[in-house]
Structure 1
Amino acid sequence: MIIPQDYVAGFALAGHHDPALAETYLRFTGKGDPLADAALASVESSVGRRWIELGIEGGGGALAEAPEQMRAFFAEAERVPDWYHPAATRAGHRAFHGNSEMLIGAFVGAVLIEGFATLISKSFAITGRVTDQGVRRLQQNNRHLVEIFMPGGLDRQGEGWKLSVRIRLMHARIRQLLSRSPEWEEPAWGVPLHAAHIGFATAAFSGLLLHRGRQLGLRFSAEEAESIMLVWRYAGHLMGVPPDLQAATEAEALHLVAIGRMCEPKPQMEAIMLANSLINSAPLVAGITEPAARRRLSRYVYRVSRALIGDEMADQLNYPKASTFGVLPFLRLRNGADRLLRKLLPGQEQRRRAGQFRRMLDLSFVERGMISYRLPGTLHAEKDRDAGRDAAG
């Protein structure tokens, strides 16, 4: 096994805690997504969009004339693993939609940032698809989270299924572009958007999301927690996470995140830029454009984020200094009071859920239209936008 240079010190540390998982994590830093990579390599980028759209919308039967690698990719994507049972996701759907406001807050203020604190940040920083498009990136990540927790969202024709497969192919395209670029240092960082990072992200988005939600005062039954894990395990499967990195339980997910963090170097410049870009985009996603109000909300998000991720990581990400005294206890108290109020006033629960659902949609959708199947034509987002404008005339 060849260990990328930036992972050498972390691998030695992680090896003291769980040598088998540390070795698995490092092995996948050298691997992308064989099926998705081969599917995109088999077509010119100009026609790839057509086959992808046909495959996602129409299924394998629409790909009779597609290259063999593209057909193989969709045949595997449509295979449902024997551990996935749609009926077992219902408790997770209810738990998510009953707590969507706080869960999206935990996702944006902590979990997403913790995911970008790894070397995956270099992929997004080089392309400019977060630093230049922070608002859109937040909405896209939120939308994926929302869609996979919609009832039927992970069914074959569900939007969550389609978005998960689209994300997988988008990662493959970015990996293809980065691997050809002199800006990518593979000996130091491993394969672009490697499988270890996708596995780390889905473990964070599942087990770590539950943990951060509890820090905010949310409560989950054992059935609800297991159901949320199942939703994310299947979404991760659709996004190409290898079986060796698919966390089946909350404990497995948290352990994978812990070992992955040890393997990863401390947050670097790109992670600092991405974390701060995401937090400063949050007010715009929430529809707040007045400068003073935006600054106030950003300061509050920084405080909550610091309280969740801890001072050490917050300082590494160059967060502004701020006291977190009382932040989490206040939120836990507020959530406890909300639960009590809903018990005393049952009709309040229906109104609360309806309000949360509307706000969730507002925070999650760039535009409520069809999924775009356009793949990036160039590595850098700015040039890609310019090329799109030129093509449009």
Structure 2
Amino acid sequence: MSAFSTSNPLGDGNVIPTAYRDGYAKATLVDSGLAGRYVAATLLGDPQADAVVAELSRHDAGQSQEWIKQAIEVGPSAIQDAPESVRAFFADAEQVPPWFDADQVLPGCRAFHRNSEMFIGAFVAAVLIEGFSTLISQSFTITGRLVDQGVRRLKQNNRQIVEIFLPGGLDRRGDGWKLSVRIRLVHARIRLLLSRAEEWEEAAWGVPLSAAHMAYATAAFSGLLLKRAAMLGVTLSVEERESFMMIWRYAGHLMGVPEDLLFDSEDSALHLHRVGTLCEPPPTLESIVLANGLINSAPIVADITELGARRRLSRKIYRISRAMIGDDLADQLNYPKMNTTGTLAVLRLTNGAERILSQLVPAFGARRRASKFQTMLTVSLYSEEGIRYRLPGHVHAEKDAHL
């Protein structure tokens, strides 16, 4: 059953948050039904996860953390002493939707790792930037989870991508599955904390980390990422593209995206992204801070320590990012002015030449694949203790620096 009425999603008396009113009017000219569902979703969080987090908040933090860890690592049978609603949530998370086919994800996994550098480049230089140009920036700016701790959060994002695109990563015991369910609970916890924070303006922005923004992000990380990666020279077969989208569709499902806002194809993901972008207001000061912070964090994530080298890489990323997202958005985000003529053409040529060389010289191709995988590990957050299951205890990240 859909989370929203498809005929009149705003007919129950809900009032559109003020920041979305102008954009909603424009979006209805493109797709009134989807625009209505999108703005209605700005008033919705994740009812199941929100209820579980509210229940867990009534128990000792250490006990709650252990329940989450055991439920994700072992299963709901391992938490017989937990409240029934908590056990039911994790049991439901294990139910695989009928549209997911584990055999069909392998082409997408291979395609991602064959082009991992270009995908991560497109993700950081364009897709994340475009995502944080929306009002989701308010949530991350208030908490500081992408301002004060930008490097760590970027590495966490990268790790989830690495894990869901490993063969078996979305299996019940795979780390991609575990991280996606954990992220859903972390979002619910932050949503609860933000809803109580004085800084949050619900009448203007709706619900923190809303269902609309979760759907928008998943559409961007899938369909838009394919589009931006193609601008860098990545070419995939139809089978690989469909497989890539299935992987992200299942990850979105695990992270709690409502079914009526969860894409079923590359085209529907891009359409949702387009309508959502129209609904969103122009980038705010918070968006500007996040976008520029992400770009300037990238050299640190890449473990570049020399100041001059960091500055050169940041400038290179600014140039690539401007070329991909366009001058209008780049100017709104206060990017430095620069000429991007030929920027993407050079990258496409370089990527194409490397692809041909890898085919002609297998030893070179093997070395490049090993190098790409090592790079992926470098820019991702891994620790010896494995996945951490502690939920945020404070709305401001500096009080949860070890999370």
Q: Same fold by TM (over 0.5)?
A: yes
Letter of the structure 1 residue corresponding to residue 51 of structure 2? A
Partner of residue 238 from structure 2, selected from 215, 222, 225:
222
**Residue of structure 1 equivalent to 2:103:** 87
Aligned to 1:39: 52
Contact 1:40 1:48 in 2 (8 A): no
> Residue 206 of structure 1: which of 222, 225, 247 is its match?
222
Q: Does 1:98 align with 2:98?
A: no
CA distance in 1, matches of 2:137, 2:271: 21
Give, in whole Å, the separation in 2 of the partners of 1:176 and 1:48: 16
Once residues 81 and 37 of structure 1 are traced to their aligned partners in structure 2, the CA distance between those partners, rounded to angstroms, is: 21
- Contact 1:134–1:278, Cα closer than 8 Å, also in 2: yes
Counterpart check, 1:13 vs 2:26: yes
Aligned to 1:245: 261
* TM alignment of 1:1-393, pairs within 5 A: 1=10, 2-44=15-57, 46=61, 47-385=63-401
SS in 2 for 1:18: helix
Tell me by how many angstroms 1:63 deviates: 2.0
Question: Contact 1:92–1:149 at 8 Å: present in 2 too?
Answer: yes
**Alpha-carbon deviation of 1:112?**
1.0
Higher helix share: 1
The amino acid of 1:77's aligned partner reads A
Question: Against the structure 1 CA distance between its residues 348 and 298, is the aligned structure 2 distance closer, same or farther, given a 3 Å change threshold?
Answer: same
Q: 1:364 aligns to what SS in structure 2?
A: coil
Q: Distance in 2 between matches of 1:331 and 1:264?
A: 31
| TM-score of the superposed pair, with normalisation by structure 1 | 0.97
The alpha-carbon deviation at position 346 of structure 1 amounts to 2.5
Q: Matched residue of 1:154: which SS?
A: coil
Letter in 1 for 2:114: G
Amino acid at match of 2:29: H
For 2:352, the aligned partner's letter is: G
Distance 2:156 2:18 in 1: 32
Sequence identity percentage: 61
Q: 3-state DSSP class of the match of 1:178?
A: helix
Secondary structure at the residue paired with 1:150? coil
Moved more, 70-79 or 253-262: 70-79
How many angstroms apart in 2 are the aligned matches of 1:139 and 1:67?
33
Q: Which amino acid aligns with 1:182?
A: E
SS of structure 1 residue aligned to 2:134: coil
Deviation, 1:381, is 1.0
Moved more, 225-234 or 343-352: 343-352
Whole-angstrom distance in 1 between the partners of 2:141 and 2:284:
11
1:369 Cα deviation after fit: 3.8
The two structures, once aligned, show a CA RMSD in angstroms of 1.2
CA distance in 2: counterparts of 1:305 and 1:366, whole angstroms: 27
Deviation at 1:285, TM superposition (A): 0.6
- 1:366: how far off? 4.5
Q: Give 3-state SS (helix, strand or coil) of 1:42's partner.
A: helix
TM-score relative to the length of structure 2: 0.94
Q: Shift of the alpha carbon at 1:347?
A: 2.6
Q: What is the CA–CA distance in structure 2 between the aligned matches of 1:109 and 1:130, rounded to whole Å? A: 15
The residue identity in structure 2 corresponding to 1:233 is: R
Once the two structures are superposed, what CA deviation does each residue of 1:53-103 show, in whole Å capped at 9, x if it has no partner?
111011010122211221121111101000001110000000001000110
- The answer on whether the counterparts of 1:54 and 1:63 sit within 8 Å (CA) in structure 2 is yes
The aligned amino acid for 2:379 is L
Q: How many residues align?
A: 387
Q: Distance in 2 between matches of 1:63 and 1:367?
A: 25
Structure 1: state its 5+ residue gaps. Answer: none
Contact kept, 8 Å, 1:95 with 1:224, in 2: the verdict is yes
CA offset at residue 335 of structure 1?
A: 1.1
Deviations 1:221-277 (A, max 9, x none): 000000000000000000000011111111111111000000000110111111111
Q: Distance in 2 between matches of 1:345 and 1:103?
A: 23
For residues 244 and 223 of structure 1, the distance between their equivalents in structure 2, rounded to whole angstroms, comes to 24
Q: Is the 8 A contact 1:136 1:366 kept in 2?
A: no
Instruction: Describe the SS at the equivalent of 2:105.
Output: helix
Question: How much does 1:368 deviate?
Answer: 4.8
Please give the alpha-carbon distance, in whole angstroms, between the structure 2 residues aligned to 1:322 and 1:314.
10
